[in-house]
Structure 1
Amino acid sequence: MSQLLNKLKNNILVADGAIGTILYSEGLDTCPEAYNLTHPDKVQRIHQSYIEAGADIIQTNTYGANFEKLKVFGLEHKVKDIHQAAVQIAKQAANNDTFILGTVGGFRGIKQEALGLSAIQYHTEIQVDTLVEAGVDGLLFETYYDLEELTNIIKATRRKYDIPIIAQLTALNTNYLRDGSEINTALKQVAASGADIIGLNCHHGPHHMQQSFSHIELPEGAYLSCYPNASLLDIENSEFRYSDNAAYFGKVAQQLINEGVRLIGGCCGTTPEHIQFIKSSVKDLKPVSDKKVIPITKQSSRSNTTSQQQTLTSKVKQQPTIIVELDTPKHLDTDKFFRNIKKLDDANIDAVTLADNSLATVRISNIAAASIIKQQYAIEPLVHITCRDRNLIGLQSHLLGLSLLGVNEILTITGDPSKIGHLPGASNVYDVNSKGLTEIALRFNKGINTDGDALKTKTNFNIAGAFDPNVKKLDGAVRRLEKKLESGMHYFITQPVYSAEKIKEVYEATKHLDAPFFIGIMPVTSYKNALFLHNEVPGIKLSDEILEQFEAVKNDKAKTKALSLKLSKDLIDTVHEYFNGLYLITPFQSVEYTLELAAYSKQITSNKQEAIL
């Protein structure tokens, strides 16, 4: 057994606190880990200050020193150099009784990460190998939000090295991880993966950490650790800060020891003063061998009363189904918009889709329009949600509001960038993309909030995805579609198509997928409109024959409309040969086009069904 683990058998050990907090307070304008190369004396001074405060254990200044995070600062080629320097600095600061932990931070944070698990393991292995070769006494895996990531990293490390492993999860909630699993259960999995010391760090201050540990059992074959933040974050004079609460921190440390913690340190906002108070308050304490665990009071998630409504997915699998896109106005004169909604409702259209500031252009909130439609009409609103305009907080609030209104049909889209719209200087958010938003909605459908707690009522979102078949390489678009399907989307709505050949091509390319498709048809309203679509809309090409037909009638509105409707009806014929779903995109609020095409669609599908009978 290593000296570190042997020491923990009968003793409480105190670890250090934050390094970055101190460096930022001194004017750091790069990543803290860069200072291992440029200002090693400052890093060493921080280590020494923690040792002088009573820390038995210090950690290397390598938390964010992985390839992906260093790439932001142009330092990705310095991964090994930074880790080697960090261990050397820590050794210079340490005394004979100091243990040095090589610190590795998690990749998967609160925001969605595009990096796959194999890539994460590859980059982490470089860090681990460098730290072990440099001679650390143990490895500290900290701030892991994702249980799968942490357990896989531990297993991979344990296969290579017999070295003490401290593994700490980070939870947004005092009882649950993001995936809804109880922290106590998750920590058992961490221990089973090969960690010697398991626990929590970051996000919560001492008070909430103590609440979490009151539900955590003493593990078999492992010890407990806890590195709380100094407090909740506050903002003062436009700067983030933590409370000056070192004495309080020390008092709560005693409670954490009583909950079974044997290794206690500090995370964000903590300083040598915090560690000094911890050391003073726990110096006479011994590890507990037994504790009373407070069970978590589970909150059941009941289903939303609207869950019995038939979804568009189930409906389109059974019979031809029509949805219509009708953009909300750019102004507050909504009379025409709601008259058109009434016409679509009277025509028994299955759903009206409401875009979310499409083409980055400001329109009336679609959630407001959907609310009125739910109250006053029978037609189902299908609300688009773009990731461009709302951060993770706003997106979740938006989803919860839609559920409260009984709006369950949603289309998740990443969204056009602001620079293509009327306000090119507006900020793009993109905390997640359409797949990430879908995953959030699916969590809500399970009754789980993003911090892992219960919503008390399950949402019932039926989630559509967007599909653009107007690309040069359809096979690549279909591969992206498959990934969307894997993320949990239930059905797909396509961009408008303008040839029967394209409809057949889409069918052949997607027939292996178990998901309904609504094929987009948008009538061409004029010769100018045809030229615009052909020349300026990426991916859309009209045949020379169609362009010539519109040019021939360009001065006759009636003939132009007749031609437009004929061509659209021909496309609808092809759509219904291969698909049950039809998506009619209303051009320029001209709902008369949509109504006639919807009536035609209903007539031909009715004729087919009668012929079958």
Structure 2
Amino acid sequence: MSKGDSMTESFKDILRDENRIILFDGAMGTYLYQKGFFLNINFEQLNITNPDTIREVHEEYIKAGADVIKTNTFGANSFKLEKAGLLDQLADINRAGVKLARECAKKAQTFVAGSVGPIGKLVHPLGPITGTQARSIYEEQIEILIDAGVDIITLETFTDLRELQIAVETVKKISSDVPVIAHLSVTEDGTSILGATPDQLAELAYKLNIDAVGFNCSVGPHHMLKPIEHMKQYKDLVISVHPNAGVPRIIDDRSFYLTTPEYFTEYARRYLLNNVRIVGGCCGIHPEHIKQLKYIVKSVVLGIVAAEEKDQSEISVQGEHPGMEPVPASERSHFAKRLCRGDFVSSVEITPPKGCDPTKVIEAARYLKAHGVDAVNIPDGPRASARMGPQMLAIILEREVKMETIIHYCCRDRNVIGMQSDLLGVAAAGLRNILAITGDPPKLGHYPNATAVFDVDAIGLVRIINKLNHGLDLADNDISNTTKFFVGVGVNPVASNYELELARFFRKVESGADFAVTQPVFDPDRLNKFLDDIHDIDIPVLIGIWPLASYRNAEFLNSEIPEITIPDYILERMKKVTDKEAAKLEGVAIARETLFSLKSRIQGVQVSAPFGRADLAVKVLEGIITPDPEYHTE
């Protein structure tokens, strides 16, 4: 959700827009604890006794990028306040909580959610609180919150569906206009401690027409993924998720959550890929987590959604201006010619240097060409790092080595004006093969605060290139002649959200992709399934192969690189080899086994050169590729 929308759109309007992702803030209580307020005080009373601190917390979350901030009223019901000796301050505490949040939100055009937690004692028949008492307790607090001006009521950390139902019904009785979000608190098995299941939550959502439902608190990012994946089947429900930052550690008699923002945001990214529309944090999730989550929401999700929204209406080759007839794919490059006539093609990915000396890459390219490799594949700022640009490096390699290149072009760093300028320059320089990718968000690299552009994603980029191949720019202006790009796209057969990955792949093909390159494959069964699922698509697929260099390297890829999965049996094989050089050869052997087992079903291979070792990439390809005599001669 972009800032500024909240003053002109209602929260319900935004919920109805399936392309909108809403970012909530994080914890209040644990953040106050971190600021030095101990558990022997009532945190909600701070709305009156220390309003500056509460205001400071709200402002930090707003600065971090939250679209919605929650009032400091989670435990401000009559049952809990009476236990704290503060019953006579119930109205003042709740009104002050809304007032503080409202003052901060008004400056930033942010929504305010009235936070309401469980009563504190179970409701009959599980506990002593009768249904009538429960309704009275909730009505007293919620009426004050709504009257004071909250935009939303968020019901948090409920374990009993009956109590949650009473709270939802109370909100709807007081006001049918105020949206309500109902959260269940789950354990590691995906159910509440009282046995409430995600399916029962979905049933309640349909029964009461709840605006959004989901999960918060109790478990960390990892265990929260299970119920989210289960809820994906309820496609018409808006899902809200706010995990804890894992399990707290006791240090010097104080509790601290040690989950890093990077870990939290990686799982949040997976939530969003599983159709979560509202995301934020609970215990241990503080402004730094939300700040980094904002980048993920913008870069990984909103960038893609916005791109899809734009490219449907703006980036179309089939509109009123079809342009010129494109050059046949087989005539665009030698690599394209081989692939189109059915030859098994090969490329090796070599990472550009961090400095300005291309000597080692030139030497590696010469070695690869001498051993029959068709093309050098050059990444564009891999893992959001600053390296020599692939365009200039490709020009150098094609000039010095006379070897074709496949340049990656990512959407992260340029707007659509810059993209078109780059592509026209690349075409003028004679580069033909290009791999269109969305790109890693800056947070993954050395420059986490760098601005990510993402005017379009890979789908939109393919459409831009396709238009240029038809002699038109993005605005359908005639560019006098056609570019001759042979366009590839990436695809991940082991994506965490496989259905979305498959749908996006089909759209890439529809947009004009000429070939596809998979993410590194370590599990042949997963690639076979993917190939079965796309059997009707007439597009060459190159398998991505990554020779493992060591057990440590395998562990890193499996645990730290998003969307790469290495089967346990391969990890065990690498673990048994302790000698460094022997480990590299074992990695080559595994890569060759994978490639041989799949060669009959694919049209080519892209091998990553581990740590720049072109010789290891060639070992993977020995006996598999057939050099083209008309190309591999000086």
Give me the TM-score of the superposition, normalised by structure 1.
0.50
Matched residues in 2 for 1:578 and 1:147: separation? Answer: 33
Matched residues in 1 for 2:417 and 2:324: separation? Answer: 24
After TM superposition, give the deviation of residue 584 of structure 1 in Å: 0.6
Task: Provide, for residues 212-231 of structure 1, a one-character-per-residue CA deviation record: whole Å limited to 9, x for no partner.
Answer: xxxxxxxxxxxxxxxxxxxx
Matched residues in 1 for 2:536 and 2:330: separation? Answer: 31
Q: 1:147 to 1:460 in 2, by over 3 A?
A: closer
Matched residues in 2 for 1:31 and 1:537: separation? Answer: 35
Name the stretch that deviates more: 306-315 or 514-523.
Answer: 306-315
Letter in 2 for 1:420: L
- Contact 1:301-1:457 within 8 A present in 2 as well: no
Describe how 1:384-533 pairs up with structure 2 within 5 A.
384-533=408-557
- SS of the residue aligned with 1:382? strand
Matched residues in 2 for 1:547 and 1:491: separation? Answer: 31
* Alignment pair present for 1:537 and 2:565: no
Task: Provide, for residues 387-412 of structure 1, a one-character-per-residue CA deviation record: whole Å limited to 9, x for no partner.
Answer: 10011111011100110011111111
After TM superposition, give the deviation of residue 543 of structure 1 in Å: 3.2
- SS of the residue aligned with 2:488? strand
After TM superposition, give the deviation of residue 147 of structure 1 in Å: 12
Q: 1:567 to 1:180 in 2, by over 3 A?
A: same
Partner residue of 2:397 out of 359, 363, 373: 373
Matched residues in 1 for 2:567 and 2:325: separation? Answer: 54
Partner residue of 2:586 out of 550, 555, 563: 563
Give me the TM-score of the superposition, normalised by structure 2.
0.49
After TM superposition, give the deviation of residue 548 of structure 1 in Å: 2.5
Name the stretch that deviates more: 407-416 or 448-457.
Answer: 448-457
After TM superposition, give the deviation of residue 333 of structure 1 in Å: 2.9
After TM superposition, give the deviation of residue 345 of structure 1 in Å: 1.7
Partner residue of 1:114 out of 308, 312, 321: 308
- SS of the residue aligned with 1:485? helix
Q: 1:449 to 1:301 in 2, by over 3 A?
A: farther
Unaligned runs of 5+ in 2: 10-16, 23-66, 68-108, 112-150, 152-304, 630-634
Describe how 1:194-343 pairs up with structure 2 within 5 A.
307=331, 309-312=333-336, 315=339, 318-343=342-367
Q: 1:458 to 1:548 in 2, by over 3 A?
A: same
After TM superposition, give the deviation of residue 473 of structure 1 in Å: 4.9
- SS of the residue aligned with 1:562? helix
Matched residues in 2 for 1:369 and 1:361: separation? Answer: 16
After TM superposition, give the deviation of residue 461 of structure 1 in Å: 1.0
- SS of the residue aligned with 2:621? helix
Q: 1:527 to 1:440 in 2, by over 3 A?
A: same
Task: Provide, for residues 544-587 of structure 1, a one-character-per-residue CA deviation record: whole Å limited to 9, x for no partner.
Answer: 33223222221x12321221121111111012121121111111
Letter in 2 for 1:425: N
Q: 1:316 to 1:560 in 2, by over 3 A?
A: farther
Unaligned runs of 5+ in 1: 1-28, 36-65, 78-110, 121-144, 149-176, 183-298, 607-613
After TM superposition, give the deviation of residue 534 of structure 1 in Å: 2.5
Matched residues in 2 for 1:519 and 1:305: separation? Answer: 20
Q: 1:435 to 1:552 in 2, by over 3 A?
A: same
1:572 match? 595
Letter in 1 for 2:452: N
Matched residues in 2 for 1:114 and 1:302: separation? Answer: 24
* Alignment pair present for 1:587 and 2:619: no
Matched residues in 2 for 1:553 and 1:67: separation? Answer: 49
Matched residues in 2 for 1:511 and 1:31: separation? Answer: 43
Matched residues in 2 for 1:404 and 1:300: separation? Answer: 18
- SS of the residue aligned with 1:492? strand
Letter in 1 for 2:416: L
- Computed over aligned residues only, the root mean square deviation of the Cα atoms, in angstroms, reads 4.1
After TM superposition, give the deviation of residue 500 of structure 1 in Å: 2.5
1:290 match? none
- Contact 1:464-1:493 within 8 A present in 2 as well: yes
Matched residues in 1 for 2:401 and 2:553: separation? Answer: 32
Name the stretch that deviates more: 496-505 or 473-482.
Answer: 473-482
Matched residues in 1 for 2:484 and 2:388: separation? Answer: 25
- SS of the residue aligned with 2:542? strand
- Contact 2:355-2:388 within 8 A present in 1 as well: yes
Matched residues in 2 for 1:306 and 1:520: separation? Answer: 22
Matched residues in 2 for 1:471 and 1:580: separation? Answer: 21
Matched residues in 2 for 1:546 and 1:31: separation? Answer: 49
1:551 match? 575
After TM superposition, give the deviation of residue 306 of structure 1 in Å: 11
- Contact 1:388-1:417 within 8 A present in 2 as well: yes
Q: 1:594 to 1:67 in 2, by over 3 A?
A: closer
Task: Provide, for residues 490-509 of structure 1, a one-character-per-residue CA deviation record: whole Å limited to 9, x for no partner.
Answer: 11111101122223223222
2:249 match? none
After TM superposition, give the deviation of residue 542 of structure 1 in Å: 2.9
Matched residues in 1 for 2:614 and 2:6: separation? Answer: 59
1:610 match? none
Matched residues in 1 for 2:453 and 2:497: separation? Answer: 29
Matched residues in 2 for 1:347 and 1:369: separation? Answer: 21
- Contact 1:313-1:462 within 8 A present in 2 as well: no
Q: 1:34 to 1:531 in 2, by over 3 A?
A: closer
Matched residues in 1 for 2:308 and 2:588: separation? Answer: 43
Task: Provide, for residues 423-462 of structure 1, a one-character-per-residue CA deviation record: whole Å limited to 9, x for no partner.
Answer: 1011000111111111111111111122322211210111
Matched residues in 1 for 2:356 and 2:330: separation? Answer: 30
After TM superposition, give the deviation of residue 304 of structure 1 in Å: 11
Matched residues in 1 for 2:315 and 2:431: separation? Answer: 32
Q: 1:551 to 1:113 in 2, by over 3 A?
A: closer
Matched residues in 2 for 1:559 and 1:436: separation? Answer: 44
Letter in 2 for 1:563: E
- Contact 2:466-2:511 within 8 A present in 1 as well: no
Matched residues in 1 for 2:306 and 2:569: separation? Answer: 46
Q: 1:376 to 1:388 in 2, by over 3 A?
A: same
Letter in 1 for 2:609: T
